[in-house]
Amino acid sequence: MKRALITGVTGQDGAYLSELLLEKGYEVHGMLRRSSSADVVDGRLRWLGIEKRINYIDGNLTDLSGLIRTMREVKPDEVYNLAAQSFVKSSWQQPLLTGNVTGLGAANVLEAVRLECPEARFYQASSSEMYGLIQEPIQSEATPFYPRSPYAAAKLYAHWMTVNYRESFGLHASSGILFNHESPLRGIEFVTRKVTDGVARIKLGLEKELRLGNIDAKRDWGHSKDYVRAMWLMLQQDVADDYVIATGRTTTVRDMCKLAFEYVGLNPDDHIVICPTLFRPAEVDLLLGDATKARRKFGWEAEISLEAMIHEMVDVDLERVRRALK
Cβ neighbourhood burial of 81 (10 Å; 0-12, 13-18, 19+):
buried
* Residue selected from 47, 56, 92, 190 as contacting ligand GDR according to rule CB under 6 A: 190
* Residue selected from 21, 50, 79, 101 as contacting ligand NDP according to rule CB under 6 A: 101
CB of 59 to ligand GDR, least distance (A): 20
Distance separating alpha carbons of residues 245 and 128, to the nearest angstrom: 9
* Residue selected from 20, 215, 266, 286 as contacting ligand GDR according to rule CB under 6 A: 215
- Residue 11 interacting entry, from ligand NDP, ligand GDR, none, C-beta within 5 to 8 Å by type: ligand NDP
CB of 192 to ligand GDR, least distance (A): 6
In the chain, the N- to C-terminal Cα span, in Å, equals: 44
Task: Tell me which stretch binds ligand NDP (CB under 6 A): 18-26, 174-182, 195-203, 246-254.
Answer: 174-182
CB of 84 to ligand GDR, least distance (A): 7
Selecting among 16, 80, 123, 151, the annotated active-site residue is: 151
Phi, psi of 186, rounded to the nearest 5 degrees: -65, 140
- Of all residues in the shown chain, the one whose CB is closest to ligand NDP is 11
Residue 194 found at the interface with ligand GDR (CB under 6 A): yes
Q: 51-68 in b/e burial notation, b at 16+ Cβ within 10 A?
A: beebebbebbbebbebbb
Selecting among 129, 165, 175, 227, the annotated active-site residue is: 129
Output 53 or 211, the one with its CB closest to ligand GDR.
211
Phi, psi of 27, rounded to the nearest 5 degrees: -90, 120
Residue 133 found at the interface with ligand GDR (CB under 6 A): no
Torsion region of 75: left, alpha or beta (phi above 0 gives left; psi -120 to 50 gives alpha): left
Contact mark string toward ligand NDP, 103..142, x via CB under 6 A: ----------------------x-x---------------
For every residue of 90-143, DSSP letters joined together read: HHHHSHHHHIIIIIIHHHHHHHHHHHH-TTSEEEEEEEGGGG-S-SSSSB-TTS
Residue 85 found at the interface with ligand NDP (CB under 6 A): yes
Output 17 or 257, the one with its CB closest to ligand NDP.
17
Half-sphere exposure of 9 (CA within 13 A, CB side): 33
Residue 140 annotated in active site: no
Contact between 218 and 179 under an 8 Å Cβ cutoff? The reply is no
CB of 78 to ligand GDR, least distance (A): 21
Residue 212 found at the interface with ligand GDR (CB under 6 A): yes
Sign for the CA dihedral angle at 234, 246, 98, 134 comes to positive
Distance separating alpha carbons of residues 51 and 290, to the nearest angstrom: 35
Within 10 A of 325 (CB to CB), how many other CB atoms are there? 9
Residues 274-293 that bind ligand GDR (CB under 6 A): 278, 280, 283
Contact between 54 and 30 under an 8 Å Cβ cutoff? The reply is yes
Residue 191 found at the interface with ligand NDP (CB under 6 A): no
Contact between 45 and 20 under an 8 Å Cβ cutoff? The reply is no
Active site residues: 127, 129, 151
What are the residues binding ligand GDR (CB under 6 A)? 86, 88-89, 127-129, 179-180, 189-191, 194, 212-215, 217, 219, 253, 278, 280, 283
What are the residues binding ligand NDP (CB under 6 A)? 7-8, 10-14, 33, 35, 40, 60-62, 82-86, 101, 125, 127, 178, 180-181, 187
